[in-house]
């Protein structure tokens, strides 16, 4: 037996039990939400959340009476549009910062970070006035533009770190063979940045999916994302806990499923961006 091998009880005490405690602390609220969502409303305040006699009544009411399906569609349109706009601008801007030298380059990069340091509430009033002048209030486009102002600055920083890891000699070789600058970007650089693009796209999608302040201010009757729809279930004198927890579970599922589908590429993209080439 190796002298350095730890006893089983020590591994359980030092590693296993702390991990179980962390998982219970992290997943406990979500388990409580799920139990609340499958408990009948009549039993919820008398017996508390329980898996016994579980029902999907709250989920049925959520889509049948509250119209949560339309809210999910609005969130999907806004988040997908923000990903499209955010990636298009972030990739081209990051390529410029990574491959070209120009004045105030470092200052501009620092300004992107400074933007994220200011609270979002400071941008609501100018964005509201701008969207009202353009006639875009209560439209998907208004929320896409507003969410892009949050996502693009940090996305540029992410994409710059990925592109800096790709040697410039590959661009030069492609242009020597007849590619234009855009051809080198789309044929050489982007295929090598796929993990980074996926990581950045997921960051933009989740940021837009969970955004509440802009959705509340710039949305309305025609466009109402799930974050605003869930908030409407909280009344002045009554909270519909069954519907509220069911809405929270359903609202978290798309982002969770997306993360699980691309988990390996996301992790490889994040670690690739952390390594300087």
Q: Which of 109-123, 173-187, 193-207, 219-233 has the lowest mean pLDDT?
A: 109-123
> For residue 222, is pLDDT > 50?
yes
- Per the model's pLDDT, the better-predicted residue between 211 and 275 turns out to be 211
Q: pLDDT digit string (tens) for 82-108?
A: 999 999 999 999 988 888 888 888 888
> For residue 248, is pLDDT > 50?
yes
Q: pLDDT digit string (tens) for 15-72?
A: 778 888 898 888 888 888 888 888 887 777 777 787 887 888 888 888 887 778 899 9
Q: What is the pLDDT of residue 275?
A: 45
Domains annotated for the chain, with CATH where assigned, are 8-55 (no CATH), 59-274 (1.10.3720.10)
Q: Which of 69-73, 237-241, 269-273 has the lowest mean pLDDT?
A: 269-273
Q: pLDDT digit string (tens) for 126-184?
A: 889 999 999 999 899 999 999 998 888 888 888 888 888 888 888 888 888 888 888 88
Confidence class for position 237, pLDDT limits 50, 70, 90: low
Q: What is the pLDDT of residue 153?
A: 87
Output the 3-class SS for the chain.
CCCCCCCHHHHHHHHHHHHHHHHHHHHHHHHHHHHHHCCCHHHHCCCCCCCCCCCCHHHHHHHHCCCHHHHHHHHHHHHHHHHHHHHHHHHHHHHHHHHCCCCCHHHHHHHHHHHHHCCCHHHHHHHHHHHHHHCCCCCHHHHHHHHHHHHHHHHHHHHHHHHHCCCHHHHHHHHHCCCCHHHHHHHHHHHHCHHHHHHHHHHHHHHHHCCCHHHHHHCCCCCCCHHHHHHCCECCCCECHHHHHHHHHHHHHHHHHHHHHCHHHHHHHHHHHHCCC
Q: What is the pLDDT of residue 6?
A: 62
Confidence class for position 244, pLDDT limits 50, 70, 90: confident
Confidence class for position 4, pLDDT limits 50, 70, 90: low
Q: What is the pLDDT of residue 80?
A: 94
């Amino acid at each position: 037996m190796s002298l350095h091998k730890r006893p089983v009880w020590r591994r359980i005490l030092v590693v296993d039990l702390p991990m179980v405690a962390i998982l219970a602390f992290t997943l406990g609220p979500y388990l409580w939400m799920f139990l609340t969502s499958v408990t009948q409303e009549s039993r919820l305040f008398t017996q508390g959340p329980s898996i016994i006699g579980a029902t999907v009544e709250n989920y049925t009411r959520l889509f049948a009476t509250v119209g949560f399906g339309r809210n999910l569609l609005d969130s999907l349109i806004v988040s997908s549009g923000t990903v499209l706009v955010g990636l298009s601008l972030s990739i081209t801007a990051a390529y410029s910062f990574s491959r070209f030298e120009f004045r105030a380059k470092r200052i501009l990069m620092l300004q992107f970070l400074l933007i994220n340091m200011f609270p979002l509430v400071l941008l609501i009033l100018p964005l509201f006035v701008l969207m009202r002048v353009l006639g875009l209030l209560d439209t998907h486009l208004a929320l896409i533009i507003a969410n892009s102002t949050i996502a693009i600055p940090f996305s540029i920083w992410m994409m710059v770190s990925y592109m800096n890891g790709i040697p410039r000699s590959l661009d030069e070789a492609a242009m020597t063979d007849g590619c234009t600058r855009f051809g080198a970007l789309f044929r050489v650089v982007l295929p090598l940045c796929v993990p980074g693009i996926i990581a950045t796209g997921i960051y933009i999608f989740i940021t837009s999916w969970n955004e509440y302040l802009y959705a509340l201010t710039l949305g309305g009757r025609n466009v109402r994302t799930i974050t605003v729809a869930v908030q409407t279930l909280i009344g002045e004198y009554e909270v519909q806990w069954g519907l509220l927890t069911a809405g929270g579970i359903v609202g978290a599922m798309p982002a969770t499923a997306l993360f699980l589908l691309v988990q390996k590429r996301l992790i490889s993209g994040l670690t690739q961006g952390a390594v300087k080439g």
